[in-house]
Structure 1
């Protein structure tokens, strides 16, 4: 059942990283500039993140299976609309539908693990799930680049729509929800009560450090992998679209294994935050280095190193789960996931504006984009260290 749910997450991963491969085709067909391209890529994350609020409540009220099966057809319709889009506006509408349709994909997997696997194995199974979900990133490497190069970006979206239908059928056929151990029936909340309980998280002081860094770490890596990787390699070093796709494929293969590896290395509740803070600062330093590196092979090697480090994101999920009592876990994970994708939307949109500004002033856009991401990530890491910590983590064990 978990693998069936992960097929939806893999497609979610694929959709959120198509922009770097289809960017040239969109620019040619619709005349998109850097800022418009950033807005296109960020719209998925924006709709995905905003929908997390309602999907998180839906997962609690209606269950994982029904919520995922009800939402996914919107994503399928969005992919079909993108493939047929006659204008930029219709393409953006397709991104909104895809973002909403696949917004419950990963949090459904995470809640499934939280409910039906032991607490001690949460980090490992979450890391494994992120690795399996990264198969979607592999598709948007060489395979999608090859499809787009031979048949165009519209065919790429059409193929994703077909795969989305197959995923829906798989989930419909295989997934049911066993009763959680020792589960007791609870009264059904109204939507108003559910929203109030969700908003309650924002009054908890230690939520803000988790949210601020949550909006930054995954956003930094996905902004590189999902938006700027292809343009950077093709425009700075003259890579072909297929060459860029090969780099994206290798980076995605790395992303398959690193979350599970970090899940196995999880140092435990007390030390985990230090690992997260140090890893985020190191990633910020690598982005700063990428800004000034003008050797093609060295740049690719550095990007692969960033891919290896990116697996530390699974520790953030474990930190979010450990920071709240059991009755708040579902809402906390939904809020954290929402913060991740709102961060993706904001960072991709902002870096698009940064690239446009840099180009207007005759500055290489990719240098300023990488420096902006580095500064953003460094400031978020500092906030994570200085903002309050959950008493569940600091109390003696």
Structure 2
């Protein structure tokens, strides 16, 4: 999709927020109808039945009729598609939408084509019952059949035009690169490049710590608490924007330079799980230390480096050219002689105990990934066969 920053007027902001409330209200009603299903009852209402009920509700309530029927009906279409995806097994069950977190709506149909370019830097879109809203052109304006207007946690408005871009063509030079993702180094390439995802600066980190302490002392429900939460959300949004910008630039550069891109097949959701509590057998009802604070720090380091988004955008831009390699022992195997031992890895330094080869640990792992040298838990040792055993015929 093509995403742009919107700059609505104060009166237009009120209309956009009303559309968000109506779309969220209709979505939550559909979720409630789906949750009330039991085996002894019939099937829940589908899209056409819910559209009929929406027409009756708009005739009965003035506040609902004041909104756009296009926005409200599209919320029902989105829920119907989400439920179909759930039954198909590709997505999870549709859940409730909350105010302040899910602020957005979608427009599809002829009204979605009312997008114009005013100048080299500005464009405008005609939103139903809101009027023309300006947005800044950060890239060429594509032809789209639908768009989504959303508001983030900081209060910024964006419009996303639903257009599937074409993949980046391969350079055709036959080059292969391996990408090793880490916490200290965000991405290490087999070419020797070390790429780091930008984060909050030291002053911004000190400011975040100060705001978190103020939040802990603020009274629940007070205006001060809301202001502090808004300031914290602004810092987190700034870090997320920097991380996303870095991922987009890095993936575009890799897709243009290399024909084949090999990455580790990591299960990030499993790696960032909370540690399970350890019951204390000596104290019934007590628990032993499980290093949950250290694990929480590791999880933050993994998420702040954008591991999942990096591979996801690579697969979008270099479609069919991204290969997933098993990460088993890639950081312990020497990229020169193939010797595998835990003692080869010393923090960020790698020194082979067999041949003496030394290199950066992440670069050595990236070279193994590029060569596809993932080994099994048995270190790929040959199976020993007795010399007295008779040869077996292959079938």
Do both share a fold (TM > 0.5)? Answer: no
Bigger relative CO (Cα 8 Å, ≥ 6 apart): 1
Please give the TM-score of this superposition, normalised by the length of structure 1: 0.26
Rg larger for: 2
Q: Whose helix fraction is larger, Structure 1's or Structure 2's?
A: 1
Please give the TM-score of this superposition, normalised by the length of structure 2: 0.26
Q: Whose strand fraction is larger, Structure 1's or Structure 2's?
A: 2
